[in-house]
């Protein structure tokens, strides 16, 4: 059996790490595999980058101008097809295709012609909408019957609204193919079952993490930043903004007293300009051990996200012994139970604040309960489920 994964990244970012973990597991099983990716860098010999950084930026510009998101990158997609011709895979496993890195028309026409089995992990909702990876925050459900007059169009195209056209193209391109949809959360599986993909088989496989990396670690983080015994509230994201609840952290910084210290990880210089002095800002890092040390140092992970599938940061935090407080968004509540975290209604700041104060006062969660719960997300077990799906019918 030969298998090819296709994704925006390989070895970095949440989806890129998943691809690499799956590739490594396939190697252990003696299954020939390769990953085609568009951006970033990977040292893995199984990775093949098929676009330059300049090309990605150019295709992003074309998408913004013409509005035909997912129908550009013709030359790059032809390189994908050339690699597929060379490898002759039995299975193609798709991940994120909406990083300006693929022309769906060419790719799915090829798959249809060759009769290749496809598995597609939906890390967000883009596959069954006109434009949007997420729609919760704006409360849109047009995707259930047919996208049109997209209320988020300006995020994707400066001039044209092609949401209806793109929706119908995706619906037609994916029709009658041998596709199994994989979702990291039951919430996402439920969304798929309300979309035009409702008749395709859907398998829920939770994301996994490397428990040898994410575990309680001794560190001097508190000493380095002068936090002392303050109750450390941690936020971790790599795309800070309203969707990830940055405004909630700003409001907490105005409200909470000096017993608390907020730390945000994954920021940058532009985000730093918006932060008050009582928030500690840690820029994005690829050092997983350093991130595990920060999780360990924290008392509570906060995730006031307004759109979410299955947040890996929750799994990482629990594995390091730190409980979770989140908005009840997407698949968030599927990542913990009452032994190691809680959730409140989305956008209910009063309930969020009250939960913080209650947890600080009562300390209801133990590090041991968190790490015990995290064992169910060991990446070896999670991604071995992928390998089981790959077995011949």
Hey, what domains does the chain have and what are their CATH numbers?
A: 2-208+379-390 (3.40.50.2000), 221-377 (3.40.50.2000)
Predicted local distance difference test score (pLDDT) of residue 118: 96
Predicted local distance difference test score (pLDDT) of residue 41: 87
Instruction: Please say if the pLDDT value at position 6 is more than 80.
Output: yes
**Band of residue 127 on the pLDDT scale cut at 50, 70, 90:** very high
| Percentage of the chain lying above the pLDDT 90 cut | 83
| Percentage of the chain lying above the pLDDT 70 cut | 99
Instruction: Please say if the pLDDT value at position 393 is more than 90.
Output: no
Instruction: Please say if the pLDDT value at position 14 is more than 90.
Output: no
Predicted local distance difference test score (pLDDT) of residue 286: 77
Mean pLDDT of the region 306-316: 94
Instruction: Please say if the pLDDT value at position 206 is more than 80.
Output: yes
Give tens-digit pLDDT for 260-304: 999 999 999 999 999 999 999 999 877 889 999 999 999 999 999
The mean of the pLDDT values for the chain is: 94
Are 59 and 28 in contact, with CB atoms under 8 Å apart? no
Give tens-digit pLDDT for 357-369: 999 999 999 999 9
Mean pLDDT of the region 101-128: 95
């Amino acid at each position: 059996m030969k298998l090819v994964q296709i994704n925006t990244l390989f070895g970095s970012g949440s989806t890129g790490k998943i691809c690499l973990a799956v590739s490594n597991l396939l190697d252990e099983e003696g299954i020939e595999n390769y990953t085609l990716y568009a951006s970033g860098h990977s040292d893995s010999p199984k990775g093949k980058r098929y676009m330059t950084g300049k090309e990605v930026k150019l295709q992003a510009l074309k998408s913004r101008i013409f509005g035909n998101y997912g129908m550009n990158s013709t030359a790059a997609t032809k390189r994908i097809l050339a690699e597929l011709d060379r490898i002759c895979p039995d299975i193609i496993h798709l991940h994120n295709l909406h990083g300006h890195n693929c022309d769906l028309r060419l790719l799915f026409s090829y798959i249809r012609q060759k009769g290749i089995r496809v598995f597609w992990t939906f890390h967000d909702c883009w596959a069954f909408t006109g434009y949007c990876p997420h729609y919760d925050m704006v409360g849109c459900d047009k995707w259930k019957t047919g996208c049109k007059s997209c209320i988020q169009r300006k995020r994707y195209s400066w001039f044209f609204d092609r949401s209806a056209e793109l929706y119908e193209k995706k619906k037609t391109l994916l029709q009658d193919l041998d596709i199994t949809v994989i979702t990291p959360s039951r919430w996402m599986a439920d969304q798929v079952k309300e979309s035009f993909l409702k008749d395709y088989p859907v398998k829920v496989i939770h994301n996994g993490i490397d428990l040898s990396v994410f575990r309680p670690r001794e560190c001097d983080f508190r000493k380095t930043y002068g936090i002392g015994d303050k109750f450390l509230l941690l936020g971790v994201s790599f795309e800070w903004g309203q969707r990830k609840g940055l405004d909630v952290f700003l409001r907490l910084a105005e409200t909470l007293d000096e017993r608390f210290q907020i730390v945000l990880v994954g920021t940058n210089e532009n985000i730093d300009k918006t932060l008050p002095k009582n928030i500690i800002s840690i820029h994005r890092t690829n050092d997983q051990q350093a991130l595990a040390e920060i999780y360990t140092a924290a008392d509570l992970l906060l995730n006031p996200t307004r759109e979410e599938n299955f947040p890996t940061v929750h799994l990482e935090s629990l594995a390091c012994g730190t409980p979770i407080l989140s908005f009840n968004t997407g698949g968030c509540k599927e990542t913990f139970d009452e032994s190691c975290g809680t959730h409140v209604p989305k956008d209910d700041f009063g309930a969020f604040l009250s939960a913080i104060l209650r947890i600080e006062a009562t300390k209801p969660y133990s590090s041991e309960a968190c790490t015990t719960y995290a064992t169910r997300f060991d990446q070896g077990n999670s991604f071995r489920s992928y390998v089981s799906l790959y077995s011949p019918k």
